[in-house]
Amino acid sequence: MKDLKKIIANNLIKYRKNAKLTQLELAEKLMYSDKNVSKWERGDAVPDVVILKQIADIYGVTVNDMLEETDEIAESIAEPKVKKEKKKTFNKKQILITSLSVILVWLVAIVGYGIMAFTPIKDSAWMIFIVAIPVSFIVLLVFTSIWCTNLLNAITVSFLIWSIAVAIHICVPVPEIWLIYIVAIPLQVLDVLWFTFRKVNKNLLKSQQEETNLGEQE
């Protein structure tokens, strides 16, 4: 059991470094504390099978790879090149999927406009393109939440808030509809506060990680 802990610990360190991740970054992906990651890599504890599978998926390997004793020198030379190429391809795939999803929204809008043009409400058919704008930002928000940084995610939320407000203002013929912008202001403030909170929390976790590393070195 002691040897198995050591093998797992060595593999955790090796694959994390090959993936160019810090203990803090890995912990955030797993939604665990960086102290847990530190314990695993020191061999003081072993992640359960579910967590080990999540870690293996992040590194693009199998659970068996995490349990096998391998040639450290050969792996450390070959693995980073594979990871770098895979990451580059995956980024292109992200852009392609996001672009196609947004294009699909506008294709649906065009088809909807064509259908509405032959109905009694044809004079209002153009409004479908106004509605397509916030829908596009909703699609972008889904993908930025999965793949992108907190900053880009917060910017997307801001555009979504104001595009919804503009769409309602234009498409809803109600007196005093301009008050919708007053509703949008606190939502924008909440978006900024949420981004700030996540950034401060990330910096705090990073500081704790640095203190832990200093403590281990001492």
Q: pTM of the predicted model, to two decimals?
A: 0.53
Q: What is the 3-state secondary structure (H, E, C) of the chain?
A: CHHHHHHHHHHHHHHHHHCCCCHHHHHHHHCCCHHHHHHHHHCCCCCCHHHHHHHHHHHCCCHHHHHCCCCHHHHHHHHHHHHHHHHHHHHHHHHHHHHHHHHHHHHHHHHHHHHHCCCCCHHHCCHHHHHHHHHHHHHHHHHHHHHCCHHHHHHHHHHHHHHHHHHHHHHCCCCCHHHHHHHHHHHHHHHHHHHHHHHHHHHHHHHHHHHHHHHHHC
Within the chain, all domains assigned CATH 1.10.260.40 are found at 2-70
> CATH number of the domain at 2-70, please?
1.10.260.40
Whether the pLDDT of residue 76 is over 50: the answer is: no
The pLDDT assigned to 158 comes to: 95
pLDDT at position 214, please?
56
Instruction: Band the pLDDT of 80: cuts 50, 70, 90.
Output: very low
Asked if residue 85 has pLDDT above 60, the reply is: no
